[in-house]
Amino acid sequence: MSFALLFAQACQTTSEVTTPKMPAENAHPDSLAKAFGLLYYKEGLSFLDARLYEKAIGKFREAEPYIMNSSVFHPTDRSTFQNSFGKAFFFSGKNDLAKLRFESAEELNPSNYEAYNNIGYLAFLDKNYERAELFYQKALQINPNDEIAQENLEILHRFQTGDLSWDAFGLYEKADNIENLEEKIRLYTELVEKSPLFYDAQNNLAVALFQAGEFEKALELFQQLTLIVPKYAMGHNNLGFVYLQLGKNSEAIEEFLRATALKPQFTLALTNLATAYYQAGNYTRAKQFAVQILEYDTYNSEARRIMQLSQTMLSAEKATESR
């Protein structure tokens, strides 16, 4: 996972937007503002997801007068909008403009922990480590379970101690952005050889090997990684995922449990754990972990799906026993 990708994840949570019904020509101005503001914002988000950043910026500019000036949009809505706008500027290489938008998002909603994290990330890129840590800590004060801010803060500390360097960062970014899998594997291999303490690179190398069908090599690399860095939750999750794909369900469950013990709200690992239990026919445990996700992520569709499937199977088992 690249530093830029960590940043992208921090910006991905935006208010869900549905395509509005266009109001009649004689509609109230607020209705027009809401309709057009949401429409252009949704189109901007679509372009953002498609990595068409200049088009996203264009649509956000069209949405801006409606969202920022109409009373139908609350400060929290405007903050979310500014955060998305900042993301578009960042990925188009306009960091100064991105910074202004993230700062505006923070001013509009002082509880927007994503905006604090994003301001911190820009400070990190400027090598202003003191400011970066300040804003990462502010994000975590608002949401102590924000895994992105936690990871960014850990990366910052590894730069400060010398475990990571900007040369390694550059090679890491290059490997992460390359589409060709063979070249990606070559670059990650080079990086791991140069920076053996860069365990994120070793993780990504193993992921790339898995994607290339080199399952045994990926398995071996993940096993080594979790032995070297036993507190690396993502490593345990990914090792469990490989085990699951190889049909080793009990080993997969053990690794998912280790990952969630290290990070209790590690949604990916909890989802994998619920899936593994469901596949093993332990519907009670599958439901338990799906419900655990929904306790803090109410709208998680995959967790809800697993919970409902598990409940269906439990009901069927109960009906069979009562016959």
Neighbouring C-beta atoms of residue 68, cutoff 10 Å:
15
Enter the tokens of residue 183. Answer: 């070249």
A 10 A CB-CB count for 161 gives 9
- The set of residues, in sequence order, having a beta carbon less than 8 Å from that of 219 and lying 6+ positions away, is 239, 242, 243, 246
Q: Which of 46, 20, 43, 44 is nearest to 33 (CA)?
A: 20
Residue with tokens 């498609």: 50
Q: What is the pLDDT of residue 12?
A: 31
Collapsing DSSP states into helix, strand and coil, what is residue 20?
coil
Mean residue pLDDT of the chain comes to 88
Tokens of 128: 């202003």
Confidence band for 51, pLDDT divided at 50, 70 and 90: confident
| 165/313 Cα distance (integer angstroms) | 51
Helix extents (H) in the chain: 3-12, 29-49, 53-69, 75-91, 95-108, 113-125, 129-142, 147-161, 166-177, 181-194, 199-211, 215-228, 233-245, 249-262, 267-279, 283-296, 301-321
Domains of the chain with CATH codes: 1-161 (1.25.40.10)
Separation CA 170–CA 163 (nearest Å)? 15
d(CA 63, CA 38): 7
- pLDDT above 70 (res 274): yes
pLDDT in tens, 138-183: 999 999 878 789 889 988 998 898 888 888 888 888 888 888 999 9
Q: What is the structure's pLDDT at 163?
A: 80
Q: What band does 29 get if pLDDT is binned at 50, 70 and 90? A: low
Listed in sequence order, the residues at least 6 apart from 111 whose beta carbon sits closer than 8 Å to its beta carbon are: 142
Q: Among all chains, which residue has been given the structure tokens 């101005």? A: 29
User: Under a CB-based contact definition with an 8 Å cutoff, are residues 101 and 81 in contact?
Assistant: no
CB 76 within 8 Å of CB 107: no
pLDDT band at 17 (very low <50, low <70, confident <90, very high): very low
Q: Token pair for residue 250?
A: 């009990």
Greater confidence, 323 or 103? 103
* Residue 112 and residue 92 in contact, taking contact as beta carbons nearer than 8 Å: no
Amino acid found at 13: T
SS3 63: helix
Rounded to the nearest angstrom, the gap between the alpha carbon of residue 314 and the centroid of all alpha carbons in its chain is 32
End-to-end CA separation in angstroms for the chain: 52
Whether residue 225 has pLDDT greater than 60: yes
Tokens of 274: 């619920």
Which residues 6+ apart lie within 8 Å of 255 measured at CB?
226, 236, 237, 239, 240, 243
Instruction: Please report the pLDDT score of residue 32 as a whole number.
Output: 82
pLDDT at residue number 43? 95
How far apart (Å, rounded) are the C-alpha atoms in residues 221 and 242? 11
Q: Which of 234, 239, 237 is nearest to 220 (CA)?
A: 239
> Which residue carries 């109230």 as its tokens?
28
